[in-house]
Structure 1
Amino acid sequence: MSLFGRKSRSARRRTNQPAWMTVDGGFAARQCTVIDISEGGARLRVEDPHFVKPHFQLKFDRTSPGRTCKVAWKKGDVIGIKFV
């Protein structure tokens, strides 16, 4: 049961796993670090916050199709994402 009508978050797992953000159908890619991850989203550290588009693919290796993501928030070089 949720308190005050708020949904409970799924459990987050801390990690420092390298990943890649791709936009434009995989044409442009930038490396990032997954700080923590849950079933519904993740927190990433990025080198270039200006590169981050509202929607992108997050890949854990260069050959995987990745997961479609939507930016939930940004604070400096850390962004929160939701898996779409």
Structure 2
Amino acid sequence: MHVMHVRDCRVFVAGYAEYLSEEMDVVSVDFEAEYHRMRYAALLWNYGLQKMKKGYVNDNDDPPRPRTKNISSPDEIEIVSIE
């Protein structure tokens, strides 16, 4: 029996989200955490290489966007009461 380690939970959640977004059957038994961990690492590495080849820069290099300081309060019609 495979014992899932604490660090495997993150990759399981990522895999579950991928299965849901792709509308695939969710596998709850025999989930290969190490395979998915390596696969996601390779996908992220490839994504970084593609960005580098195309000359993209990180969002961190961009100046911060101005934030809206005014927050409108909801109208009474928008407020829903659950009883």
More helix by share: 2
TM-score by length of 1: 0.19
Q: Which has the higher strand share?
A: 1
Structure having the higher Rg: 2
- What TM-score, normalized to structure 2? 0.19
